[in-house]
Structure 1
Amino acid sequence: MVNANSDGCLESPSGFLNMMENREASGSEPLRIRAHHLLCMQGFQGLGYSEEFTKNMALITDKLLNDSTFLLEIVTEADSICQHCPHLVGDRCDQEHPSGKISSMDLQVLKNLKIKSGTLISSREALSLTKNLHPRVVKKICGDCLWRDNCLYYQEKCPL
Structure 2
Amino acid sequence: MYKLRGHHLFCLLGYRGMGYSQEYVENMTRLHQTLRDNPKMRIQLVKGPDQLCEKYPNSGVYHCQDINIYERDAVILEKLGLKIGQILNWEDIESSIRKSVIPSDIQIVCKSCSWRSYGVCEEGIQEIIEGKGLREVK
Consecutive unaligned residues of structure 1, counting only runs of 5 or more, are: 1-29
- Cα drift, residue 127 of structure 1: 2.4
Counterpart of 2:105 in structure 1 is: 137
- Work out whether residues 38 and 127 of structure 1, in 8 Å CA contact, stay in contact via their aligned partners in 2: no
Relative contact order: is structure 1 or structure 2 higher (C-alpha 8 Å, sep ≥ 6)?
2
Deviations 1:20-70 (A, max 9, x none): xxxxxxxxxx21011110100001000000000000000001111111111
What is the CA–CA distance in structure 1 between the aligned matches of 2:107 and 2:58, rounded to whole Å? 23
Q: 1:135 to 1:127 in 2, by over 3 A?
A: same
The structure richer in helix per residue is: 2
Deviations 1:69-104 (A, max 9, x none): 111001121111111111588xxx712686x21001
Specify the code of the residue in structure 1 equivalent to 2:77.
L
Between the aligned residues of both structures, percent identity stands at 24
Q: 1:65 to 1:157 in 2, by over 3 A?
A: closer
Counterpart of 1:79 in structure 2 is: 50
Consecutive unaligned residues of structure 2, counting only runs of 5 or more, are: 134-138
- Cα drift, residue 155 of structure 1: 1.6
The structure richer in strand per residue is: 1
> How many residues in Structure 1 have an aligned counterpart in Structure 2?
127
Counterpart of 1:94 in structure 2 is: 62
- Cα drift, residue 128 of structure 1: 2.8
Please list, as runs of the form range in 1=range in 2, the aligned pairs for 1:1-150 lying within 5 A after superposition: 30-87=1-58, 94-95=62-63, 100-132=67-99, 133-148=101-116, 149-150=119-120
Normalised by the size of structure 2, how large is the TM-score? Answer: 0.82
Rg larger in structure: 1
- Work out whether residues 2 and 51 of structure 2, in 8 Å CA contact, stay in contact via their aligned partners in 1: yes
Counterpart of 2:125 in structure 1 is: 155
- Cα drift, residue 112 of structure 1: 0.6
Cα RMSD (Å) of the superposition?
A: 2.1
